[in-house]
Homo-oligomer: A and B are copies of this chain.
Amino acid sequence: MTDHTIPYRPVPGVLLSAAAAGIRYQGRDDLVLMALPAGTRCAAVFTRNAFCAAPVLVAKRHLATRVPRYLLINSGNANAGTGEQGLADAEASCAALAALTGCYPEEVLPFSTGVIGEPLPLSKLTAALPTALDRMRETTWPEAVQAIMTTDTVPKLASRRLTAAGRTAVITGMAKGAGMICPDMATLLVFLATDLAVDQALLQHSLSTAMETSFNAITVDGDTSTNDACVLAAAGTLSNQPLQDPESPDSLAFRSALEAVCRELATAIMRDAEGATKLVKIRVEETRDGAEARRVADTIAHSPLVKTALFAGDPNWGRILAAVGRADLDRLDIQAVRIWLDDLRIVSHGGRDPDYTESAGQAVLKQEEITIRVALGRGQAITELLTCDLSYEYVRINAEYRT
């Protein structure tokens, strides 16, 4: 059964299935298999948190050994903070799938999301594998994306078509994550596939680049997960000459479509941030370099004072200005600082804009989507970050969610 309410395009040669293993949830699928054809190239990015979960460590090790044929994903249990037993369980889950399919255990990459610190119920997981293998289809993306959800309230699935080597290729991806705000289920998991053939180095480069303007440009509260992972598989079923030159027209088309899919998924994650009432883009421009722009954007995005003001619809320019002021910029010229809410200038010459009125600011903040634009007048660099407000609901969700 395909849920036709979620628009997407299958990726020829890439098969998926979803099954109910009863790992934590009852009455819903919580296990996903993704099968990649022979000849696939695979790129991946993992969490930078020093406390990687067991499946992250195992996936990295397998990826360094062989080209993956299967992605084995479970929700409900993160297999994180589980020590040596967790590593053994992650390896055993790969071995079980390998035994059933005849591949090497190192050709399976494991991914987990859910509560941390509890042992993975390995036997439940392996018992569901035969059912999952029976259901492999190119058209199971909608069921798969539902099965990897934890605190997500909507499934996140996106597709783009592009023309490369004179043929129409497709990139499709699914993501789970509700704005990284839910502690033990905070994981961001993203699985992307294309039917293009892409050289390994270009594939990894394209994924890393696309991350910067998508999944690495969203933030709710600065907390990162132990399980975050993003995988991009190039199945090669389009049988094109593998893309290799990053600047060729075909590669540029591919990278652009990939970035569009990633941004669509990342925006969907921010929209689904639990407790958030507003989607806020922070755009910082005229900085000396990108790092400086990002530092200012992060400081604004993580300021609880700015976030509560956004929740209240209070155009509190003083809080934004104070956040810029503590972003540790070398010799900031305060007179050069300007700030806008959408197109409304609220700060000029480092102080309240003379034409600004409180009621105009409040009108902008009534919207559900707002851009805070900060110009520093000291360079050409720009960055954009998506974030959200800080509400009662955020505190409730994160206080009430128990390990």
Residues of A within 8 A of B (CB): 48-51, 80-83, 116-117, 181, 183-184, 186, 221-226, 302-305, 308-309, 311-312, 314-319, 321-326, 329, 332, 334, 349-352, 358, 390-392, 394-396, 398-400, 402-403
Contact = CB atoms under 8 A, between A and B. Distances in A.
Contacts of A318: 80-81, 116-117, 183-184, 226, 403
Contact of A50 (B311, B329, B390, B392): B329
Nearest to A85: B351
Contact of A398 (B80, B222, B308, B358): B308
B50 A324 contact: yes
Contacts of A395: 308, 311, 390-392, 394-395
A223 B312 contact: no
A112 to B, nearest CB: 14
Given A50-B324, A322-B223, A398 B304 contact: yes
A177 to B, nearest CB: 14
6 contacts: A51-B321, A51-B322, A117-B317, A183-B316, A222-B303, A316-B402
The 3 A-B residue pairs whose C-beta atoms are closest, nearest first, are A51-B325, A312-B399, A308-B398
Contacts of A81: 317-318, 321, 350-352
B51 A305 contact: no
Contacts of A394: 304, 308, 395
Nearest to A398: B308
Contacts of A116: 318
Contacts of A321: 51, 81
Instruction: Indicate how many identical chains form the complex.
Output: 2
A274 to B, nearest CB: 12
Given A83-B349, A317-B403, A391-B395, 9 more contacts: A48-B326, A49-B325, A50-B325, A81-B317, A117-B352, A184-B316, A222-B304, A309-B398, A311-B399
Contacts of A402: 312, 314, 316
A49 B326 contact: yes
A318 to B, nearest CB: 4
A309 B51 contact: no
Chain B CB within 10 Å, residue with most, of A117, A184, A311, A400: A117
Contact of A51 (B48, B304, B334): B334
Contact of A221 (B305, B317, B358, B398): B305
A304 to B, nearest CB: 4
A49 B299 CA distance: 12
A331 B394 CA distance: 33
Nearest to A389: B399
A48 B82 CA distance: 42
Contacts of A322: 49, 51, 183, 223-226
Given A309-B183, A398-B305, A326 B223 contact: yes
A139 B326 CA distance: 38
A66 to B, nearest CB: 26
Nearest to A390: B395
B51 A324 contact: yes
A351 B398 contact: no
A183 to B, nearest CB: 5
Contacts of A183: 305, 309, 316, 318-319, 322
